[in-house]
Amino acid sequence: MTETTPMQDLASRAHAVLPAGGFGNFDPSFFVRSGSGSRVIAEDGREYIDYMISSGPMILGHGNEEVNEAIRKQLDRGMTFFANNAAGVELAEVICDAMACADRLRYVSTGGEADMYAMRLARAYTGRSKILKFEGGYHGMSAEALMSLAPSRLQNFPRPVPDSAGIPESVEDGVIVAPFNDADFATSLIDEYGDDIAGVIVEPLQRLIPPAPGFLEALRAATDKHGIVLIFDEVVTGFRLAWGGAQEKYGVVPDLCTLGKIIGGGMPLAAIAGREEIMRHFDKGAVGEDGFTFQVGTLSGNPLASVAGLKTLEILRRDGMYETLIGHGERLMAAMSDPLTERGIAHQIVGDPVLFDVIFTSDPVLNYRDMKKADATKASIFNAAVREKGVLKPGAKLYPHLALTEADMIQTADAFEYAAGKLVEAAASA
């Protein structure tokens, strides 16, 4: 009888109770037992430098003692109350001070919820129905968000492609899709449909792809012209690209932004923030029955997440934190690119020092369709090789963080060197 490993045993149990054997996120055959600092330990006992950091929230690394202590103190006072709490108010004050667009804020539990409510809020404010989004942009799991997120079948803009079963055909009529980084195309659509568009939602840095010069500015000008709500999805970029998020880094201020990941310090927390005249639609007393946008959530603004987020943001605001984070990223970018360049392997490092990955193509990467042209086989070989050397990263991005050590950086550079060699071996045996 063949013995099973701890991972295999857990995978078998998971398949008995979970569709596809997982939570719908990362590789369902991979189980994490624990995390500390820059590293996680899998259920088979192997240790990995963690560049997934729970898909972004753990910017300080795992088990930061200051964050843990804040959570422990709150645990003694209570976990959640379904009522206002002081920590939630204080965190809202910090966020509204940091984000240029934020006069008011409303909490939810996930970034996908925040995006859904932001689009709904835009409709309530404008009285219009259509949402313009960009192909390849990720905005959660609502019906509108799952239009042309990752279409395998490319069709002519602006018609959307649903990415999931179970979405009514009627939703397609409410969504317009444009290519990211094409300011002329987006502006022409906004001019054509302007009287029907409630909101334009965009990741200012779309997955990994930075905005082309003038792109966000063009969206701001076009939405202003037509009275459309401009929504920045800053669930990933908020407090990561800069203290004030993408709107600070790129110098373009939206009407609404959505936030998540970092603001909860590893606990479930997200928010919609924006201009007072739009946010007031969450207040029935201010806008009346017809203009009211109903929102409630059992865990919204819960004190455990609020104190974790407050302490995380306090640490991030200390002197030198962003400089350290950016420095880590720049060093890792070079360590990833140099061995590939030395071996003549066509590639680009796409993203920002705080969020990036290697894309195996020699062509410019400006939008989703450019990303689809990249060599996915090479990416798979590269990612498997770095994991073999104890480096854990998602399939399509790498998150530098503040828990990384000099030993981590050296081991990661060695893993990238090894992975580049594996690509040469694969090419030779093809």
Q: What is the residue extent of each domain of the chain? A: 31-63+319-429, 65-316
Per-residue pLDDT, 2: 67
* Cα–Cα nearest to 89, from 77, 103, 105: 105
- Segment 383-392, tens digit of pLDDT: 999 999 999 9
Percent helix, percent strand, percent coil in the chain, to nearest 5: 45, 15, 40
Per-residue pLDDT, 290: 94
* Cα–Cα nearest to 342, from 415, 420, 414: 420
Is 261 known to be catalytic? yes
Find out whether 275 and 255 touch, Cβ atoms under 8 Å. yes
Does the pLDDT at position 344 exceed 70? Answer: yes
| Catalytic site residue from 261, 378, 393, 397 | 261
User: How many CB atoms sit inside 10 A of residue 411's CB?
Assistant: 15
* Cα–Cα nearest to 219, from 302, 137, 103: 137
Per-residue pLDDT, 1: 54
Is 138 known to be catalytic? yes
pLDDT tier for residue 430 given thresholds of 50, 70 and 90? confident
Any residues with CB less than 8 A from the CB of 36 and at least 6 apart, and which?
A: 62, 63
| Degrees, nearest 5: CA angle 294-272-161 | 85
Structural fold of domain 65-316: Aspartate Aminotransferase; domain 2 (3.40.640)
| Catalytic site residue from 51, 107, 125, 138 | 138
What whole-number distance in Å separates Cα of residue 93 and Cα of residue 86? Answer: 11
- Segment 219-274, tens digit of pLDDT: 999 999 999 999 999 999 999 999 999 999 999 999 999 999 999 999 999 999 99
| Catalytic site residue from 233, 255, 352, 408 | 233
What whole-number distance in Å separates Cα of residue 340 and Cα of residue 420? Answer: 6
Is 322 known to be catalytic? no
Which H or E element spans position 115?
helix 111-126
> CATH class for domain 31-63+319-429?
alpha beta
